[in-house]
Amino acid sequence: MTEQPEFYPMPSFPALAVHDIEKSSRWYQDVLGFTHVFTMPGLVHLRWTKYADLLLRASPPILETKGIGITLNYAVTDGTLDALAARAKKAGAIFIQEPGDRPWNARDFTIADPDGFALTFTMGPLKRDLTMDALTDKLAK
């Protein structure tokens, strides 16, 4: 018996207009590990983790670049960031920014989904004893 996903009021969620909803849904699940919540005609509800839901909606092809200046951000809390990046790379994902440690005390990478939307996956803080005041002082120097 398959466990049913939890339903709850979503405080905020992105909805992406995608060209091929089945292809995009499979990509998010197979490449990144999103969980399928439900599908209805023209709409797929996926979940990265609790309160990090994503809706994909069918849209006719748009010639212009979509999502310029917008990045969807997802936290990776179990230390598998590099494994997720390797999985995405093996699947042919386009990397906008390779995995790396960042000055803001996190490790992240950014990829483009099949429709060109940017997704950043972040793990942090890297140094748990570094306070926000110490971090901002360090970055200001």
Q: Give me the residue spans of the domains in the chain.
A: 1-60, 69-141
CA distances from 109 to 86, 91, 96, 131 (A): 11, 15, 8, 23
Classify domain 1-60 at the CATH class level. Answer: alpha beta
pLDDT at 30 over 90: yes
41-84: pLDDT as tens digits: 999 999 999 999 999 999 876 666 667 778 999 999 888 999 99
Task: Pinpoint the alpha helices (H) of 1-80.
Answer: 21-30
- The two domains 1-60 and 69-141 share their CATH topology (first three levels equal): no
Instruction: Specify the range with the lowest mean pLDDT, choosing from 21-35, 51-65, 77-91, 96-110.
Output: 51-65
The answer to whether the beta carbons of residues 19 and 115 sit under 8 Å apart is yes
CATH classification code of 69-141: 3.30.720.110
pLDDT at 103 over 60: yes
pLDDT at 98 (0 to 100): 97
What pTM was computed for the model? 0.83
Cα 59 from Cα 132, distance rounded (Å): 42
Q: What is the DSSP code (8-state) at residue 54?
A: E
Beta-bridge mates of residue 95:
111
